[in-house]
Structure 1
Amino acid sequence: MTDTNTAFGEFDKDGNGEIDLLEFRELVASLGLEVDRAEAEALFDSIDVDEEGTIDYEEFQAWWSTRKP
């Protein structure tokens, strides 16, 4: 499994330190997860615990560490 720092940097396409919904949808697709737009948005919202509309590194790390290899 890719380490958290590498994965976050790969998916934070604009390098602003956050993953927005568009970047997250690309992340989901790259992982081969077959989810529709609503499911991707629901997953995004569940990871975005501070409800700022983006996933920061800490939120990403918490989610990424729960994934199975």
Structure 2
Amino acid sequence: MAQEITDPGVTAAVAAAMSADAPPEEIAAPGSFELFRLDVSEVVVVRVGEGHLLIESWQEGRGVRTAQR
């Protein structure tokens, strides 16, 4: 589930944190982006390796698991 964050104080703090180490051309101004809070319970990343797929998954309460296929 995604929830949009519209609080100007929160978006300003996020913009400042994102810009702390960014080069000048990548600095985000508050209000120039949309900000969402996500409630994530599972994430899967699949990458192509040499002759195989690398599948990394994370589930809340279970942690990270890695598999090759």
Question: Taking structure 1 as the reference length, what is the TM-score of the superposition?
Answer: 0.26
Return the structure number with greater strand share. 2
Which structure dedicates a bigger proportion of its chain to helix? 1
TM-score w.r.t. length of structure 2? 0.26
**Which has the greater radius of gyration?**
2
